[in-house]
């Protein structure tokens, strides 16, 4: 079995930049004429919480979050190379981002995806995200799906 490792880094990481380039190319195809609208919200400057997934030292996936407000982070730039999908890598990245957000004192994770990405919607639903009203720049965008999840661990009764 291939060894999957996750590395915490930031948006200057060259492997992250390479993967995001692949993600943007895929989104350009999926989003078509809507792509320039979405692209403006996916800038990479100053993202300090980035995860890059490696399979046997090859960068195959990524995800990131940025602070959205005092309580929440926004998950950004989730991507796994198509040759490596279906192996739980995206779930590992998402779990790690949520844990990192929790350690940083945040209570919730929000994200925006789209109807053109049914695999992403399925991933986030399975991970416990629920659909919320579209927020911020996505408010009146019919093709956007916004989701939210609490990242505070459920109380076990002993707290």
* pLDDT tier at 2, thresholds 50, 70, 90: confident
Closest CA to 20 of 68, 93, 81, 65: 81
Please check the confidence at residue 74 and state whether its pLDDT lies above 90: yes
Please check the confidence at residue 11 and state whether its pLDDT lies above 70: yes
Please check the confidence at residue 41 and state whether its pLDDT lies above 60: no
Contacts for 9 with CB less than 8 Å, ≥ 6 apart:
16, 50, 51, 52
* pLDDT tier at 159, thresholds 50, 70, 90: very low
∠149-30-48 over CA atoms, to 5°?
Answer: 45
Average pLDDT, the chain: 89
Q: What's the whole-number mean pLDDT along residues 111-125? A: 93
> What torsion, rounded to 10 degrees, do the Cα atoms 62, 65, 66, 67 define?
-170
Integer angstrom CA distances of residue 148 from 109, 112, 128: 6, 9, 8
Side by side, which strands form the sheet with 49-55? 4-9, 49-55, 58-67, 72-80, 108-114, 144-150, 130-132
């Amino acid at each position: 079995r291939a060894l999957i490792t996750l590395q915490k880094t930031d948006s200057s990481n060259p492997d992250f930049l390479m993967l995001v380039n692949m993600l943007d190319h895929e989104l350009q195809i999926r989003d078509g004429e809507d792509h320039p609208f979405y692209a403006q919200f996916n800038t990479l400057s100053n993202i300090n919480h980035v995860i890059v997934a490696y399979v046997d030292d090859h960068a195959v996936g990524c995800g990131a979050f940025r602070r959205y407000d005092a309580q929440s982070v926004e998950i950004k730039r989730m991507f796994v190379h198509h040759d490596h999908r279906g192996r739980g890598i995206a779930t590992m990245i998402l779990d790690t981002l949520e844990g990192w957000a929790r350690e940083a004192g945040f209570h919730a994770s929000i994200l925006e995806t789209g109807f053109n990405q049914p695999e992403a919607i399925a991933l986030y639903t399975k991970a416990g995200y629920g659909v919320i009203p579209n927020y911020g720049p996505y408010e009146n965008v019919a093709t956007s799906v916004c989701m939210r999840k609490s990242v505070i661990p459920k109380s076990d009764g002993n707290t």
